[in-house]
Amino acid sequence: MEAEERRARHGRLKVFLGYSSGVGKSYRMLDEARRRRERGQDVVVAAIQPQRPPEVEALLNGLEVIPPILIDNVAVIDVARVLERRPEAVVIDGLAYDNPPGCKNRWRWRDVQDILHAGISVIGSVNLQFIDELREQVEAITGKHITQTIPRRFLNTADEIVVVDAPPDLPQLQEPGTPGAAPGMNSQQRLSALRELALVVAADVVDQQLEYYLESHGIENLWGTQERILVCITPRANAAAMIASGRRNADRFHGELSVCYVEQGELSNDDRAAVEASLAAAREARAQVVLLHGEDPIAAIMAYARERGVTQIFLGHSFRQSWWDRIFGGPVDRFIRAAEGIDVRVFPH
């Protein structure tokens, strides 16, 4: 009861998470503030990005703004005025900014905590690359170095999180050969990897909310079906991307990762080298490597998957289809039908 009373006195934190800059998280955040204001909630804006597109500016014009304080030419949230004004909710764009010397708090997210503790809700935004624990991983994908971050533990305190998934305006991801970016990944693959990370982060926040609910209501956590991910490789499959994704998901859910290859007949030297490279990548990713045999590859894979209790299967697939496949269904269609009860994720190559 005491925990529930403290929670009732505490402001609620809602975060709009973008997987990269330009996806429209500021617009979504301000649109949320506009809708709340129309419903009669007292909402003010305490921090907004200085460079704003016209559609964001139009939303901002309809909202009350508490101007920031300039310290050493750095815009800082006027926390004292926010606490004095005591709105029901305050909008804070860019949660990961650092405050200059002389401020009470070194980081903006600490300012947000003070506002929340005063019983004022916060609607904020942040990009994936600004989460400290993911900084190096995102930098390896985008090639962009970040110095100002928020800790993941702060994000996990959010009462609600929204992953903003919209067509981004990101030249640094669209241009090939970006310095420092992940080698061998095109623009779409990099964006897909960032989206996946954002969804994993959002799932962690939801898990924290569920754990708090169970603890506060005295409910013992008894579930726990372990995720078992099976990556199926072929000489032509984009094995590196599938294995990397499988490793991330297995780590996220504390599950198991296996990589299988169904032995075929004679392979060309290039195909054999591709398979060996994929199996080496699987071992490096700490996956269990399995070599299967059988005249029907689908039957061999499904027999192994059923025996091991696999929950997810990753496949590579080319979108080039013959007229027969278009009419009667190709191998992937047959695989999905055979994998009833198991999630199947298809990776294009």
Domains of the chain with bracketed CATH: 2-216 (3.40.50.300), 228-348 (3.40.50.620)
State the Cα–Cα distance between residues 132 and 20, nearest whole angstrom: 15
Coil vs helix vs strand at 37: helix
Residues in CB range of 223: below 8 A, 6 or more apart: none
Per-residue pLDDT of the chain (349 residues; tens, 9 = 90+): 555 555 557 899 999 999 877 788 889 999 999 999 999 999 999 999 888 888 888 999 989 999 999 998 899 999 999 999 999 999 999 999 999 998 999 999 999 999 999 999 999 999 999 999 888 888 888 888 889 999 988 998 899 999 987 654 544 454 444 455 555 567 777 888 888 888 888 887 776 666 666 666 665 554 444 689 999 998 888 888 899 989 888 887 778 899 999 987 778 888 889 899 999 999 999 899 999 888 888 999 999 998 888 999 999 875 455 444 444 457 788 888 888 889 998 887 6
State the Cα–Cα distance between residues 93 and 97, nearest whole angstrom: 9
Angle between helices 239-252 and 269-284 (to 10 degrees): 20
Q: Which two tokens stand for residue 233?
A: 């490789």
pTM (predicted TM-score): 0.63
DSSP states of 163-213 as a string?
A: EE------HHHHSTT-TTSPTT--HHHHHHHHHHHHHHHHHHHHHHHHHHH
State the Cα–Cα distance between residues 36 and 207, nearest whole angstrom: 26
Element spanning 64, H or E? strand 64-65
Q: 161 to each of 126, 152, 258, how far by Cα in Å?
A: 11, 13, 31
Q: Which two tokens stand for residue 180?
A: 């420092």
Measured over all CA atoms, what is the biggest interatomic distance in the chain, rounded to whole angstroms? Answer: 77
Angle between helices 135-142 and 187-216 (to 10 degrees): 160
Q: Which two tokens stand for residue 261?
A: 């290859």
